[in-house]
Structure 1
Amino acid sequence: MSAELIQNQEITGGFILRALAPGDAPGLAAAYTDNRAHLAPWEPVRPDSFFTVRGQAERIEGLLRSCADGTVAPWIIETPDGRITGAITLSGISRGPFCSASVGYWVAADRQNQGLASAALERVCDLARDRLGLHRVEASTLTDNTGSQRVLEKCGFTPIGLAPEYLHINGAWRDCRLFQRVLHDNVPAAL
């Protein structure tokens, strides 16, 4: 996937949605460390190494390899002064008759309820449709993650079902609500 597909864009109030870069390891390590307790109920159990610069550098390297392969599109959300305050990623990008991807996102505890997740998700859906040509984007939330469900519904996602024991989150297999947003009804590009 070429860099121009995931270029920097202002999303709201001076906050920037920009492509993940190799130099983001220190900022992401700090952001994840600062938000470890905030994110713990909604994420897999992370080893301590995940919260280090080296751990993030290795993670970023893998994400950027997948980005080059066209299966992942990772962005970060930055404050106007350049601090990482969240992330959003399209993963499992598939072409052909499926023409779909999954989206995951998070926003720092001190930036909740400011519209950042909604603005970033809306922009990513636009990019998924206009630049990547995807037909749909799907998302899952834990059944009790009402905040994320509100973000998805605000951005035009509709519930499509319940998946029992869908993800191993915070140390246990958890049920998830599934959502999708259909982006267009165009015929998929030829393989």
Structure 2
Amino acid sequence: MIEPRQLTPQVQLRIADLDDAPALADAYARSWDHLSPWEPARPDNWFTPEAQADRLKTNLTRYRNSQAVPWLLISDGRVLGGFTLNDLVPGPFRSAALGYWLAIDAVGQGLATLAVNAVAEIADHELKLHRIEASCMTSNAPSQAVLKRTGFQQIGFAPTYLHIRGAWQDCNLYQRILNDREPGA
């Protein structure tokens, strides 16, 4: 069980819960104009508590199966963003893929930087991973800045990597090496 992390006196990073569905739907609804340039097309019901509950059920099953770790940034019961380690690979690879987003009212406060650093610390010390990878669209300068501030290095370029806004988008590929210890140590 991964314990919550207090990032600021008001903001906590913790594992998502099914009870978060209404607050998650609200965060997406109030932030969609901000998020839509970086997100896949979403059905109209995406912004409902029911759709978010279904999504959370899937993510929490993946968490119980050690395939993913879904965190939310929470402040006073409001969701301020989501951070997920996906596709956790054990053995000699010891890697996972990081994805994240911030609600519009959380942008510009340093919360993404704090959360990515906390996720990296957990990935290193608790999950015993060697590296984290991430990708972001070449046009997403704010996300690239977060990755660079948190120790990620660009390792490649992937043309037509993600389908966003109805078209295949080019992305930069990044990684952060967490340690050089033996796998699982």
Q: How does 1:136-155 map to 2 (within 5 A)?
A: 136-155=131-150
Please give the per-residue CA displacement for 1:136-190, whole angstroms capped at 9, x wherever unaligned.
0000010010000000000000000100000111111000000100001111139
TM-score (norm. length: structure 2): 0.97
Q: Does the CA contact (< 8 Å) of 2:14 and 2:72 recur in 1?
A: yes
Give the match for residue 95 of structure 1. Answer: 90
Please give the per-residue CA displacement for 1:72-108, whole angstroms capped at 9, x wherever unaligned.
00000012x2211111000011011111000011111
In structure 1, runs of 5+ residues without a counterpart are: none
TM-score (norm. length: structure 1): 0.94
Q: How does 1:157-172 map to 2 (within 5 A)?
A: 157-172=152-167
Q: How does 1:1-191 map to 2 (within 5 A)?
A: 4-5=1-2, 7-79=3-75, 81-189=76-184
In structure 2, runs of 5+ residues without a counterpart are: none
Identity among equivalent positions (%) equals 46
SS at match of 2:96: strand
Tell me how far apart the structure 2 counterparts of residues 58 and 104 of structure 1 sit (CA, whole Å).
Answer: 19
Tell me how far apart the structure 1 counterparts of residues 22 and 119 of structure 2 sit (CA, whole Å).
Answer: 24
SS at match of 1:35: helix
> RMSD in angstroms over aligned alpha carbons?
1.1
Q: Does the CA contact (< 8 Å) of 2:129 and 2:184 recur in 1?
A: no
SS at match of 1:141: strand
Count of residues in correspondence between the two structures: 185
